[in-house]
Amino acid sequence: MISQDMAALISAQINREFYSAYFYLALSAQAETMNLKGTAAWFMAKHGEELTHALKMYRYLIDQDAPVVLMGVAAPEAVTDGVLRIFERTLEHERTVTSSINTMLDHALTEKDHATAIFLQWFVTEQIEEEATVKDIVGRLRLFGDQGYGLLMIDNELAAMAKQVGKTAGATSGTAQ
């Protein structure tokens, strides 16, 4: 069984994961209004991933016989000043999530809660991948531009990536239960 403090940190992270899902849903809608179907699909796939993360943490608390405390989800701030800024804001968001995951892992290690530390390692690895992916997208937008043919090329790549994320999420969704 995990401590009340650890359970509270994980419950707060569940809220952050739901916020992340909401954030990505809003960015998907924004991309739709910009006629960027690939970008919208990529953000929608990220929305689904974040819900899976929240449910994975929910299941962990239940399995540890710890209380799950659900909180309200804040409305995400609108990001409307161009595709590059949308992805820069996405990178900032992912870095905030990484910091939160690291704080939880630090707490688990301080408490010598080995089960939770092992559980959180998956999220640490996931955040490395998340940040690297978004940094790559930001780099491409800076190199090729967020208008015209460069943007079309990136939008098409994001559409392909969204399909891959969907396949991966479908293959691993059973493990999140």
CB distance 177 to 59 below 8 Å: yes
Residue 52 is predicted with a pLDDT of: 97
Q: Which of 79, 87, 90 is nearest to 20 (CA)?
A: 90
Residue 81 is predicted with a pLDDT of: 83
Q: Across residues 66-76, what is the average pLDDT?
A: 95
Residue 134 is predicted with a pLDDT of: 97
From CA 37, how far away is CA 31, in angstroms rounded?
Answer: 7
Residue 20 is predicted with a pLDDT of: 97
CB distance 105 to 117 below 8 Å: yes
What's the pLDDT band for 176 if we cut at 50, 70, 90?
Answer: very low
CATH level 3 topology of 4-176: Ferritin (1.20.1260)
The DSSP 8-state label assigned to residue 86 in this structure reads H
Residue 173 is predicted with a pLDDT of: 46
The domain limits of the chain are 4-176
Q: What rounded mean pLDDT belongs to the chain?
A: 91
Say whether pLDDT at 170 is over 60.
no
Q: Across residues 112-117, what is the average pLDDT?
A: 97
Residue 165 is predicted with a pLDDT of: 73
Residue 177 is predicted with a pLDDT of: 36
Q: What is the pLDDT of residues 6-50, one digit of tens each?
A: 999 999 999 999 999 999 999 999 999 999 999 999 999 999 999
Q: Which of 1, 6, 3, 2 is nearest to 105 (CA)?
A: 6
